[in-house]
């Protein structure tokens, strides 16, 4: 096992202690802070809060744990075999990844809040709105809750709102539940065969794009609660039948089924975005920070 010099290992653990001491308690921890907390709490449990007091064996164990918690899946699996409880240290790694994902979502939503504040200020000065797609592009931040509301509530008879819904589901940061809702609505309204009959290029190109992106693994966000399982299953079967039928039309190829998209999943409810006027493409009032923050902060590891 390739390990640094003992002095370097002690310096690494001292850095973990400093990171914990400097962490902002008002912020959800990131992956590095979570790992530092683990290291410090293990040292505390060993009654050796000082790095200098650690034996070489304890020092090596903490350095290997630190490496495992930051490693990719393959390396982590190999390193886990060096511990008495491989399952326990891999569970810790899973928990660190959960906390890192929570922090990434928090940071994304804070960027959306700040971007919405800036756009609200600009729109107040301008005194008018624009197309909803233009407003979304000006927002310049991923707001999965806004995108979900647009897909769920847009008026398909309004070209601007329809275009905005198409724009939202083409974003690879779009939540999987939003994507499933969009396709479910199309299936239930028989919109795909109608679009083929009417040569509705915009709708057909949007469906083709999202199915291709899903097949390539582009949609990773899965935070929002899904539709009920029965409705999703009906949509899955309906979409397969519609795609089979569409492929029979001249010049059409068989688009890939979105395997796994229509699985029911737990998640949070979409947060309110009532300050947006979808019809006018405007922000009506300043955003409420409470609508952009998760009430439950990532819990300490132990």
Q: Is 276 exposed, middle or buried (0-12, 13-18, 19+ CB in 10 A)?
A: buried
pLDDT of residue 289: 96
Q: How many angstroms separate the CA atoms of 151 and 129, rounded? A: 20
How many CB atoms sit inside 10 A of residue 271's CB? 19
Q: Are 18 and 49 in contact (CB under 8 A)?
A: no
**Consecutive H or E run containing 283:** strand 282-283
Q: Is the full-model pTM beyond 0.85?
A: yes
Tell me the domain boundaries of the chain.
6-83, 113-292
Local structure of 266: helix, strand or coil: coil
pLDDT of residue 295: 56
Q: For 236-290, what is each residue's pLDDT tens digit?
A: 999 999 999 999 998 889 999 999 999 999 999 999 999 999 999 999 999 999 9
Q: How many angstroms separate the CA atoms of 201 and 81, rounded? A: 55
Mean pLDDT value across the chain: 94
Q: For 165-209, what is each residue's pLDDT tens digit?
A: 999 999 999 999 999 999 999 999 999 999 999 999 999 999 999
């Amino acid at each position: 096992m390739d390990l640094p010099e003992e002095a370097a290992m002690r310096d690494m653990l001292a850095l973990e202690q400093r990171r914990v001491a400097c962490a902002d308690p008002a912020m959800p921890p990131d992956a590095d802070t979570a790992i530092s907390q683990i290291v410090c709490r293990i040292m505390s449990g060993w009654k050796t809060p000082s790095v200098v007091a650690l034996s070489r064996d304890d020092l090596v164990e903490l350095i290997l744990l630190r490496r495992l918690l930051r490693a990719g899946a393959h390396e982590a699996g190999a390193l886990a075999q060096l511990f008495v409880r491989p399952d326990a240290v891999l569970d810790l790694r899973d928990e660190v990844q959960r906390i890192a994902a929570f922090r990434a979502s928090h940071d994304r939503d804070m960027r959306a809040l700040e971007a919405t504040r800036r756009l609200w200020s600009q729109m107040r000065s301008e005194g008018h709105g624009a197309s909803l797609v233009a407003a979304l592009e000006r927002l310049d931040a991923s707001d999965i809750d806004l995108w979900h509301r647009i897909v769920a509530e847009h008026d398909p008879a309004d070209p601007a709102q329809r275009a905005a819904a198409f724009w939202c589901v083409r974003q690879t940061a779009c939540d999987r539940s939003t994507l499933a809702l969009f396709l479910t609505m199309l299936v239930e309204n028989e919109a795909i065969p109608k679009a083929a009959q009417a040569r509705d290029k915009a709708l057909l190109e949007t469906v083709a794009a999202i199915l291709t992106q899903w097949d390539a693994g582009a949609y990773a966000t899965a935070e929002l609660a899904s539709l009920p399982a029965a409705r999703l299953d009906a949509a899955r079967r309906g979409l397969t039948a519609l795609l089979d039928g569409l492929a029979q039309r001249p010049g059409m190829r068989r688009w890939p089924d979105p395997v796994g998209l229509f699985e029911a999943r737990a998640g949070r409810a979409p947060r309110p975005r009532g300050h947006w006027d979808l019809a006018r493409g405007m922000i009506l009032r300043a955003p409420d920070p409470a609508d952009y923050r998760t009430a439950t902060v990532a819990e300490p590891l132990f």
